Amino acid sequence: MRSKVLCLILLLFFSYVRSLAQENAFFHQTEVGFLWGKGIKNWDGNYLNRMDVSISTFHGVKISSHHILGFSVGYDKYDQIELIPIALGWRGFLGKAEKQRLFAGLDFGGGAAFLEKKETTQWSSSWYEGGMMVHPMLGVKLPAKKGNWALSASLGYKRQQVSYFRGFLDGSSRSTNALSSTTNLPSGFSSFNETNYLFHSLVFRMGVMF
């Protein structure tokens, strides 16, 4: 299911890209790479590092010869958690258009957790909720000899928040509404755990832009 969604996104993206490739007012960047992060400390004091895939596609409009504003969507994996980052973005270029250029970028948005299914059993219910995402980056643009195409490579930092909720259902006939209104125990649960993750990742990606 997830791979199908991913294929569909990529397919749509590339068909879109082809149709727009000739128009100079638009800018597109698609990259694939990895997220690398230093996880929490293990029982033995070592860190559980994580390295997972990251895909992003950015589409923008040139607002000047050096600046582009647009949006990005993608796919990020953090250990077991799969997120769809959706963000507004900026790309700024240094140097002349035909040559190798340095660029900087910033994506600001959120990671949606709709690939993670809510699990409900007789006793409990658990689900993920996405959270804020910030992704500043630096990169290089290496233009192809022909056409508008260019290779891109970027290195950035990604800050992603995710929450995991797990509640045990209240099986008794006790009423919970009065308590819930004044506390953070949602109605219908006898106990509720909220785990907030803050992932700091180093992001390295390569791809194409035009």
Partner 1 sequence: MKTTKLFIALLLLASGLFFSCEDQVTTTYTYRTMMPVYLEMSDVRARLITTEPAKPLDNPGKIYIYKDYLLVNEPSKGIHILDNSNPANPINLSFIPIEGNIDLAVNDNILYADNYVDLLAFDISKITNIKLVNRVKDVFTHLYRHDTGQIITFKDTVITTDGPRWEIEGGWALRSDMSFTANLSAASKSYGTGGSMARFTLMDGHLYAVDESTMRVFDVQNATDPKFIKPINLGWGIETIFPFQNKLFIGSNSGMHIYDASTPHSPTRMAVYEHVVACDPVVVNEEHAFVTLRSGNFCVNGVNELQVIDIKNPYDPKLKKAYPMLNPHGLGLAGDYLYVTEGRHGLKSFNVKDVMAIDKNQLEFLQNMKSIDLIPGPKSLIVIGPDGVCQYDYSAPSKLRKLSCIQVTNPVIIS
Return the closest-CA partner of residue 76 out of 140, 151, 135.
135
* Binding-residue pattern over the window 158 to 187 for partner 1, x denoting contact by CB under 8 A: ----------xxxxxxxxxxxxx--xxx-x
- Looking at the Cβ atoms of 59 and 160, the one nearer to partner 1 is 160
Strands (E) across the chain are located at 26-41, 47-62, 67-78, 81-94, 101-112, 119-120, 124-143, 150-169, 189-209
Among 14, 16, 47, 149, interactor with partner 1 by CB under 8 A = 47
Among 12, 15, 38, 120, interactor with partner 1 by CB under 8 A = 38
Residue with tokens 């070592």: 46
* Binding-residue pattern over the window 112 to 141 for partner 1, x denoting contact by CB under 8 A: -----------xx-------------x-x-
- Looking at the Cβ atoms of 22 and 193, the one nearer to partner 1 is 193
Q: Report, in Å, the least distance between residue 65 CB and partner 1.
A: 18
Residue 19 phi, psi (nearest 5): -70, -25
Residue with tokens 């948005």: 109
